[in-house]
């Protein structure tokens, strides 16, 4: 089962309590540890966390700097634990604008955990679904121009194979915290048939108990993928 989470509401959680917004992001980083740990126990084998979007650069410079500092700290503090817990870590998004030392940490963690099998953790940083599609189209276009790919052979599978999540299953469920009801450029292609769950709790309040309830609700649904599933007609006992 693949779950994607839009971790929203960190800043608002802090503001509502009279705290600096970065305190909310710090609380949210701590929440990640709980949710990653619980995921495999709850039957999730792929977890994608929306950590920083391509649009988040528009925030105040000090907030962006603070978020990147927290991200560095998370990688440093959890480097060994993620590997010891058999978690395979992947990063999706365009890493180009990130600081060189941060990219080095990301590469090191990716290589260290590449053979782990319990849980695949995708961290979406400088990620946007539209940007991902643009980058995929450029890769496909280059192959078409070079002649290694025929235009008539381009199909949905071709596009999927050139996305950041190539080789991974599409998300079964996308969760967004903090009550907002939109996907905000998250997994635009992959989420075409994902089930959606919008919860009122902000990300710092998204406990394992809430996570468990959301997954239970998902498992009670019937996924049709555009088809019509007919239920057997009831047979009357009347003569």
CA distances from 91 to 151, 207, 214 (A): 29, 24, 25
Tell me how crowded residue 107 is: count the other CB atoms within 10 A of its CB: 12
* Per-position b or e across 7-36, b if 16+ CB within 10 A of its CB: bbbbbbbbeeeeeebbbbbbbbbebbeebb
**Residue 121 and residue 5: Cα distance in Å, rounded?**
11
- Positions annotated as catalytic residues are 8, 56
What one-character-per-residue DSSP string does 112-144 give?
A: HHTT--SEEEEEEEEE-HHHHHHHHHHHHHHHH
Residues facing residue 5 across a β-bridge: 49, 175
HSE at residue 89, side-chain half, CA atoms within 13 A, is: 22
């Amino acid at each position: 089962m693949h779950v994607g989470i839009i971790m929203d509401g960190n800043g608002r959680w802090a503001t509502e309590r009279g705290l600096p917004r970065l305190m909310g992001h710090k609380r949210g980083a701590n929440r990640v540890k709980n949710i990653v740990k619980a995921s495999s126990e709850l039957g999730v084998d792929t977890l994608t966390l929306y950590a920083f979007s391509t649009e988040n650069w528009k925030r105040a410079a000090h907030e962006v700097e603070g978020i990147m500092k927290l991200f560095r700290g998370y990688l440093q503090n959890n480097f060994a634990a993620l590997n010891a817990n058999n978690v395979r870590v992947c990063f999706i998004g365009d890493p180009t604008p990130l600081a060189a030392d941060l990219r080095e940490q990301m590469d090191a963690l990716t290589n260290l955990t590449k053979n782990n099998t319990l849980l695949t953790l995708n961290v979406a940083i400088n990620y946007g679904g539209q940007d991902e599609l643009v980058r995929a189209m450029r890769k496909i276009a280059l192959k078409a121009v070079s002649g290694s790919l025929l235009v008539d052979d381009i199909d949905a599978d071709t596009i999927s194979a050139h996305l950041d999540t190539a080789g991974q299953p599409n998300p079964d469920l996308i969760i967004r915290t903090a009550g907002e009801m939109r996907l905000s450029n998250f997994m635009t292609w992959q989420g075409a048939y994902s089930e959606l769950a919008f919860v009122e709790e902000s990300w710092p309040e998204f406990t394992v108990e809430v996570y468990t309830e959301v997954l239970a609700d998902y498992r009670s649904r019937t996924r049709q993928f555009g088809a019509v599933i007919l239920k057997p007609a009831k047979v009357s006992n009347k003569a």
